[in-house]
Amino acid sequence: MDAAMKGLGLAIGLYNALFWRAAAGTVLGLALMLLTRQRWPARRVLRIHLLRGTVVALMAGFFFWALLRMPLAEAIALSFIAPLIALYLAALLLKERVGRQAVVASLLGLAGVGIILSGRVQGGYGADALLGAGAVLMSAVLFAWNLIIQRQQAQLASPIEVAFFQHLVMLAIFAIGAPFWAVVPSAKAVPLVLLCATLAFTSLAALAWAYARAEAQRLIPVEYSAFLWAALVGWVAFGERLTLATVAGAMLIIVGCLIATRTKRTDAFDQGPHVEAGAA
């Protein structure tokens, strides 16, 4: 989906890629909501949909803006810092305790980010590319917040409902700029718009289904396989080269996240099933 959005953004511009993907995803979601006879959510659930949709709209704007300026694998690698940021957001928002191992994990993650950025600076990239790296890190902060909301949302709504309302809220936000920037995509771009919307809707529904059935700490490590796919697709579709600095930095970030998730799992086990059930 990220690769398809990069291609669409290069073809019709970032704003139109985001706007028309949200529009197509909303139509697809509405059809599925009606077909499966989904109930209208309660007001409390609607507030969660609204909050997450707003966070994801901002996150997508930063991330896809960066994707147009840097290699796909590099952007994905930098975004892996999000679970570590989520530890500190959880401490701030949920008053959770950040242990010593979590701090060590964070330092490893920051070292990984530093290696990736140092490789970018030494490679003679322009200021626009460095701004792209900064945009990825900003999107990672928002993604960390999204991780905290996502688990709660998945417990209260069906996967189809989650995906539909996320697209609907994003469409409402992006529609603010439609009178100024929206352009009807050409016939050649329409299949790519539909592909992006289908991939986005499917991935959102799949994640909602997964997070309703397993803890985030067990699912997040699986997402690191995205780095391999990003490297492959970036090379095939865009001719992007994978640098040693990107690989080394990604590995440090991944190790840090695995240490952090293992720490949380051990703590939950030590405190007994009551705490684990409460966290779920």
What are the tens digits of pLDDT across the range 101-151?
767 777 777 788 888 777 665 555 566 777 888 899 999 999 888 877 887
Give the domain range for residue 133: 2-279
- Alpha carbon 245 to chain centroid, angstroms: 22
- Looking at every residue in the chain, the average pLDDT score rounds to 83
Q: What mean pLDDT comes out for the span 203-218?
A: 77
- Could you identify the residue written with the tokens 């917040």? 145
Distances (CA, A) of 136 to 29, 44, 65, 72, 254: 28, 31, 9, 11, 16
- Look at 269 and 133; give whichever has higher pLDDT: 133
Distance CA 17, CA 23 (A): 10
- Look at 1 and 277; give whichever has higher pLDDT: 1
Among the listed ranges 66-80, 170-184, 208-222, which one has the minimum average pLDDT value? 208-222
pLDDT at 268 over 50: no
Give yes or no for a contact between 170 and 56, defined as CB atoms under 8 angstroms apart: yes
H helical segments located in 175-222:
178-181, 190-211, 216-219
- Of these ranges, 59-68, 128-137, 226-235, the one predicted with the greatest mean pLDDT is 59-68
What is the rounded end-to-end Cα distance, in angstroms, of the chain?
A: 29
Which positions ≥6 away from 263 have C-beta within 8 Å?
A: 99, 101, 102, 105
Give yes or no for a contact between 70 and 117, defined as CB atoms under 8 angstroms apart: no
Count the domains in the chain. Answer: 1
pLDDT band, residue 273 (cuts 50/70/90): very low
pLDDT at 275 over 90: no
Q: What mean pLDDT comes out for the span 251-261?
A: 79
pLDDT at 57 over 70: yes
